Amino acid sequence: MTDRPIDTVSVALGPRSYEVRIGSGLIARAGAEIAPLLHRPRVAVLTEEQVAALHLDALQAGLAADGITMQALALRPGEATKSWPHLARAVEWLLEMRVERGDVVVALGGGVIGDLAGFAAAILRRGVRYVQVPTTLLAQVDSSVGGKTGINTAQGKNLVGAFHQPSRVLADIDVLETLPHRDFLAGYGEVVKYGLLGDAVFFAWLEAKGPSLAAGDPALRQEAVRRSVAMKAAIVSRDETETGERALLNLGHTFGHALEAATGYSDRLLHGEGVAIGCQLAFDLSARLGLCPQEAPGRLATHLQTMGMKRRLAEIPGDLPDADALIALMAQDKKVVDGRMRFVLSRDIGAAFVTDAVPRKSLGAFLDEALGAQ
């Protein structure tokens, strides 16, 4: 706990507006944060086993401090949990716990739990409210905010889901101390994404502060989460269901999702690592197509290297499929419109844009080269 004030970022969506609270000690005061949302003093918590071992007792104590009781279901950790069988288990458990329409579900975990619990809440009794308590950097800066919920299927990632906004997000900076360094850096990939897509000043701030932030400085971590969430909140408020501008948040994701699929959604490549490599590829491709100055991908590469992050395909362990197979995986992405692949490219750091005008031949040659550099 510190004396540092808690930051509040509002996601302005009319009657579905909510606050993202960011700071130290938020799990310890979860009861006070959640109580105003409750009709009766009980919540159902969906979490996963590793997170439960680290943080569930603290959440229980934080809720109990305000007289709120909880029941919890801890699912298996890992991306495989974002699937039909675990969704069914979660929904049936919530029904067994007699969660009513007016109750609140709490998602305690990273992106997998947040997406799964949010989707379970979206379909339970045609929609109950939920609170996100994200426990990874990736979930704090991205997946817990904006209401994208869902599961993966054999056909691809996040292909089944719903837009269902949380009623509150509690991003407790203290939990980041328990994150393995690799997971922290993977989440940092999404932080860098915000600077790259629309805020060159933030990117320069990350260049200066990134190493201290990764080393554990809590004030810098809070500021990085606040600025990332503020950017996401502003974009989501203008384009909740991704009819336009929200697609910019997918910078690095078309390449990243294909790489995740190619590596079997395994430990070979974490989601945020795929996003960082994907951002580098998007900037390299932008420069190659003459859309952005060569200095921009160079600056990004230097920053990722300084941070000790993967940035090249060669840094992914094991073999990768060839360019044609990677392009086929990209074509399965949700971002395909009328059969045309859409890319988020950039005119410079902080100046991303969406385009479907990348010639298939140029893309193939670019990927051949990127793979050849392995």
Residues catalogued as catalytic: 126, 148, 190, 232, 242, 246, 250, 253, 257, 271
Long-range contacts of 96-100 (CB under 8 A, 24+ apart): 97/44, 97/71, 99/44, 99/124, 99/125, 99/128, 100/125, 100/128
Q: Considering only residues 142, 172, 223, 260, which one is a binding residue for ligand GLY as defined by CB under 6 A? A: 142
In the complex with ligand GLY, the residue whose CB is nearer, 250 or 263, is 250
b vs e for 14-52, b when ≥16 Cβ sit within 10 Å of the residue's Cβ? eeeebbbbbbbbbbbbbbebbeebbeeebbbbbbbebbb
User: How many Å is the Cα radius of gyration of the chain?
Assistant: 20
In angstroms, give the least distance from the CB of 345 to ligand GLY.
17
In angstroms, give the least distance from the CB of 188 to ligand GLY.
15
Q: Considering only residues 21, 55, 148, 311, which one is a binding residue for ligand GLY as defined by CB under 6 A? A: 148
In angstroms, give the least distance from the CB of 242 to ligand GLY.
6
Interface mask toward ligand GLY for 194-233; x: CB under 6 A: ----------------------------------------
Residue of this chain nearest to ligand GLY (CB atom)? 249
CA distance 157 to 332: 9
- The answer to whether residue 82 forms part of the interface with ligand GLY (CB under 6 A) is no
- The answer to whether residue 249 forms part of the interface with ligand GLY (CB under 6 A) is yes
Instruction: Residue 309: name the closest of 111, 137, 135, 79 by CA.
Output: 137
In the complex with ligand GLY, the residue whose CB is nearer, 110 or 146, is 146
Token pair of 180 as six digits: 């393995």
In the complex with ligand GLY, the residue whose CB is nearer, 109 or 146, is 146
Interface mask toward ligand GLY for 322-341; x: CB under 6 A: --------------------
Q: How many residues bind ligand GLY (CB under 6 A)?
A: 6
Long-range contacts of 338-345 (CB under 8 A, 24+ apart): 341/254, 342/247, 342/254, 343/254, 343/282, 343/285, 344/197, 344/247, 344/248, 344/250, 344/251, 344/252, 344/253, 344/254, 344/282, 345/282, 345/285, 345/286, 345/289, 345/291, 345/292
In angstroms, give the least distance from the CB of 187 to ligand GLY.
12
In angstroms, give the least distance from the CB of 141 to ligand GLY.
10
What is the end-to-end Cα distance of the chain in Å, rounded? Answer: 45
In angstroms, give the least distance from the CB of 371 to ligand GLY.
26
Query: Contact region for ligand GLY (CB under 6 A) — 118-126, 142-150, 199-207, 348-356?
Result: 142-150
Which stretches of the chain bind ligand GLY, using CB under 6 A?
A: 142, 146, 148, 246, 249-250
